[in-house]
Structure 1
Amino acid sequence: MPLDPFVTVMLERTRDLPAISDGSPDDARALIAAGREGIGTGPEMAETRDFALPTRSGSIPARLHVPKGEVKGLLVYLHGGGWVIGNIDDFDTLGRALAARSGCAVLLPDYRLAPESPFPGPVEDCEDAVLWALEAAGEEFGGAPVAVAGDSAGGNLATVVARRLLGQGPIVFQGLVYPVTDYDFSRPSYAAHAEGFPLLGRDMPWFFDHYLQGADPKQPDVSPLHADLTGLPPALVITAGYDVLLDEGLAYADALEAAGVPVTRRHAPGMIHGFIRIHNLCEAARLEVEALADATREACEAARAPA
């Protein structure tokens, strides 16, 4: 399928921008922040609360969006950015959209980033954020179910944390949007989509180098495709057609199914990596955000239904 027409225009307008890996982490962070205004705003919430979320390493900023009406669940959304870039302001619009559509409160933790806080710092922050959510769901939201989701590196963190917390609290759903699941740059999708897109083939080694700083890239908390996935919560896996991460996203869905995990697959054939943030501008992206929100709501409603 050809590129989505909106994406084609967007790529033409941004083709002279530097690659993520051409500069420093601060340069890359400024690049993503510069596009924040263009994606627009999200729906109004019943409450939006910025607070300091406690973790084992201190506290991190966090934002909680509470939608209008009955709260059906609590979704911890872990933003993408290769563990190096992005923050809760960059993903605020998405968080609001997910909350409004799903009827779930959405927690956006501003987990620490590499290279300042390499692996396992981001994993530990996200794990502690989900533990906070499990407690808050009981205290603030009447025992509402807890789900996790994320895109790209955030999808990696979401499924890693879901596995690490098995047995410590019921996570009812994992939503994985073009997730990083393996340290392997030899897959065909890397060769097919290495140039001409916002995420280049050479960007991923740059991200991993900053994140790992010598840690084993094949350990399960980095490359969850190599983990025992038995017992993980039901998953929605969303992939993009023009994405270096396409093949590992498909492989991870296969691995989840092989481990007995219920998996729903969605594929956006005309989309590129990072499309989830342009849902206000692009119909195809909006449909995937709605699918993620709907799947989250349905999982939370099923968890609350009488046995």
Structure 2
Amino acid sequence: MPLHPFIEVMLERLAQMPGLSDQPPEAGRAQIAAGREAVGEGPRMHEARDLSIPTRGGEIPGRLLVPAAEPGGLVVYLHGGGWVLADIDDFDALGRQLASDSGCAVLMVDYRLAPEHPFPAPLEDAEDGVLHGAELARTAFARPLPLAVAGDSAGANLATIAARRLKGRVEIALQALIYPVTDCDFERPSYRERSEGMPLKRKDMEWFFAHYAPPEAWATPDISPLRARDLSGLPPAVVTLAEYDVLRDEGLAYARALEAAGVPVTLREAPGLTHGFIRLHNLCAPVAEELAAIGRDIARACEAARAEA
């Protein structure tokens, strides 16, 4: 399918700006922060509060977004940005919309970023954030809530790895993975065909990996979850891909690997959209529709988990 007209205009504007890997991390973070106003705001919440999340590396910030007095579950959300860029303020509108669409509380985890805090610090924060989310789901509401994990891009990478590492310790109703990073193979066809002119290029992913960890660690399953020897027993997954994305092929491969391991998978590909589309829910109708679909997936999974409790 051709690029969505809104995406075409966006790419024209992005072409006039420095690329993600053409500037220091601090400049990239500032560039993303400068775009918050354009992204817009999310729905008003019944409760929205900042909190501290205890981790093995010390306390990190978090934000709890509660759409209604009695939410149907709690979602731990891990934002994208290649383990290097962005924070929960950049994804606040998305978190609020996901809370509204799913009817679930959303815990945004402001995990530490590379290169200041390289692997495994972001993954440890993600894992500890899920553990804290599980504690909140048990104790912070009128009744215990089912738990889900979700994320986009590098955040989806952290979410699914954390789910695997916590297998047997935390019950997770669903993992919602939006164009996840699942491998370190930059030679897949989508890397060759969906790089130039796109918001995420092959050189950007190489830059992100280089900041995150030394090359000899890239193929380990705690960075490239597609290479894990055993994916059985993981939570059911929703995997959302973008048609115009260097990560498309590895996301598809991961969905198939989960299915082969016996994990129930719902796979969708957003036609005409690029990597990073999920933050455009206020600006582009197909994005709003996909985010609403993810919200429904989470709501159904949490409802099923409550019925089984």
TM-score by length of 2: 0.98
The answer on 1:14 being equivalent to 2:40 is no
1:69 Cα shift? 4.0
Is the 1:69–1:103 Cα contact (8 Å) retained in structure 2? no
**Structure 2 partner of 1:281:** 283
Contact 1:118 1:213 survives alignment (8 Å) = no
Distance 2:203 2:176 in 1: 26
Match in the other structure for 2:195: 194
Partner of residue 300 from structure 2, selected from 295, 298, 301: 298
| Alignment correspondent of 1:145 | 146
Structure 1 residue aligned with 2:263, among 261, 264, 269?
Answer: 261
Question: For residues 308 and 212 of structure 2, what CA distance do their matches in structure 1 show?
Answer: 43
| Shift of residue 306, structure 1, vs aligned partner | 4.5
Partners of 1:49 and 1:64 within 8 A in 2: yes
Task: For 1:205-244, list aligned pairs within 5 A.
Answer: 205-227=206-228, 228-244=230-246
Corresponding residue number in structure 2 for 1:32? 32
Partner Cα distance (1:176, 1:47) in 2: 25
Residue pairs, 1:60-209, within 5 angstroms? 60-141=60-141, 142-209=143-210
CA displacement 1:59-103 (0-9 Å, x = unmatched): 001000011242100000100000000100000000000111111
Structure 1 residues without counterparts, runs of 5 or longer: none
Contact 1:194 1:244 in 2 (8 A): yes
The alignment partner of 1:239 has SS state of: strand
Residues in 2 aligned to 1:199 and 1:257: alpha-carbon distance in whole angstroms:
27
Deviations 1:27-84 (A, max 9, x none): 1111111111101100000111101111111000100001124210000010000000
C-alpha offsets along residues 112-146 of structure 1, whole Å, 9 cap, x if unaligned? 00000000000000100110111111111221010
Deviation at 1:213, TM superposition (A): 3.1
Q: TM-score, normalised by structure 1?
A: 0.98
Q: State the alpha-carbon separation in 2 of the partners of residues 264 and 233 from structure 1.
A: 12
AA aligned to 1:53 is: I
State the partner residue of 2:43.
43
Q: Distance in 2 between matches of 1:55 and 1:88?
A: 17
- Take 2:27 and 2:199, find their aligned partners in 1: how far apart are those partners? 15
Query: Between Structure 1 and Structure 2, how many residues are aligned?
Result: 307
Cα separation, 2, equivalents of 1:51 and 1:18: 34
Secondary structure at the residue paired with 1:171? coil
Q: Percent identity?
A: 62
- Structure 1: distance between partners of 2:73 and 2:128: 18
SS in 2 for 1:292: helix
Equivalent position amino acid for 1:85 in 2: L
**CA apart distance, 1:214:** 4.7
Give the Cα separation in 2 of the matches to 1:67 and 1:261: 29
The Cα offsets for residues 142-188 of structure 1, whole Å up to 9 and x where unpaired, read as: 21010000000001001000000000010110000000000000000
Secondary structure of the equivalent of 2:174?
A: strand
Q: Assess if the C-alpha contact under 8 Å between 1:183 and 1:218 holds in 2.
A: yes
1:245 corresponds to 2:247: yes
In structure 2, C-alpha distance between the alignment counterparts of 1:198 and 1:31, rounded to whole Å: 13
Unpaired runs of 5+ in structure 2? Answer: none
Give secondary structure in 1 for the equivalent of 2:161: helix
Q: Which moved more, 1:109-118 or 1:194-203?
A: 194-203
1:9 Cα deviation after fit: 1.3
User: Which amino acid in 1 is paired with 2:184?
Assistant: Y
Task: Look up the SS of the partner of 1:284 in the other structure.
Answer: helix
Other-structure match for 2:54: 54
Which whole-Å CA distance do the structure 2 matches of 1:54 and 1:70 have between them?
A: 25
- 3-state secondary structure, aligned to 1:58: coil
